[in-house]
Structure 1
Amino acid sequence: MKDVLGFHADLEYGKLDVAGDVAHGFRPYQLLVASIAVCSGGVLRKVLTKMRMEFSDITIKADAERNKEAADRVEKITVHFTITGKNLSESKVEKALVLTRKNCSMVQSVIGSIEVEETFELIEED
């Protein structure tokens, strides 16, 4: 039998390698965290656009807290958005994040099993 180090999926955009060892592909929990982060970011972008907020960039940092004693279960995902733009309103972004949580299918899929926390910072452009 051939030495198997992971799995791959042939998808529309190309090959996705997944393995328990990061040297051979994305780890499954990384894909879970990335799915939550990117889904939230896409929804947030749409919501901010509809709110007519002027932003030029949104960057996302996501981290997972895992429980080593329960099969390394993902217990919490923190998604931090850095939003760059003009005349940014903290209260509007807070409202936008409520709508983002409500409309992100990936966040909605894990509610009740994984805690998801969204935080943000605003960088004002000249």
Structure 2
Amino acid sequence: MKARVQWVENVKFVAESGSGHALVVDGPPEHGGRNIGPRPMEMILMGLGSCSNFDVVSILKKSRQDIFGCDVAIESERAETEPKVFTKIHLRFTVTGRNLKESVVQRAIDLSMEKYCSASIMLGRAGVEIRHSFEIVELNTN
């Protein structure tokens, strides 16, 4: 994997992935930014959520679960002093579908967080306390 980050002005950057996708990274006005893109640490959380959600959806589909949606809300705590690393992260999955088995959903999330999601494993090894929970939203069968 490769990526490139180019400084544009003040605290605005354009980040481009090796696969050719780009996005603007920016800071808040009090740090010289215009607030037109996510912060770098927000991107880490978004990467973690995307990585784990990708796994969970894939595992649930392979497990023949009738899944219609999977959202993950992520909350974090950071150290108060520099470097302001993440100290705790909680991922709350909301899985929507029909006749979803709680044990299968739990297993999919556990497998993602403990075996497949590189971001989760990397952050955990760096000392971040990562927790997760989930809820199932059952769709009507009518």
Answer yes or no: same fold by TM over 0.5: yes
Partner of 1:31: 43
Matched, 1:6 2:12: yes
Which string of whole-angstrom CA distances, capped at 9 and with x for unpartnered residues, describes residues 16-74 of structure 1?
Answer: 22233271421111001000000000000011011111111111211111111343221
Partner of 1:93: 105
Hey, what's the Cα distance between the residues in 2 that align with 1:73 and 1:84?
32
Partner of 1:72: 84
Paired residue total: 124
Question: What's the TM-score once normalised by structure 1's chain length?
Answer: 0.87
Specify which structure has the bigger relative contact order, considering alpha-carbon pairs within 8 angstroms and separated by 6 or more residues.
Answer: 1
**What 5-or-longer segments of structure 2 have no aligned partner?**
1-7
Q: Normalized per residue, which structure has more helix?
A: 1
Hey, what's the Cα distance between the residues in 2 that align with 1:104 and 1:87?
26
- Counterpart residue identity of residue 86, structure 1: R
Matches within 5 A, 1:43-122: 43-101=55-113, 102-113=115-126, 114-122=128-136
What's the % identity of the aligned pairs? 28
**What 5-or-longer segments of structure 1 have no aligned partner?**
none
- Counterpart residue identity of residue 97, structure 1: I
Equivalent position SS for 1:29: helix
Equivalent position SS for 1:71: coil
Question: What's the TM-score once normalised by structure 2's chain length?
Answer: 0.78
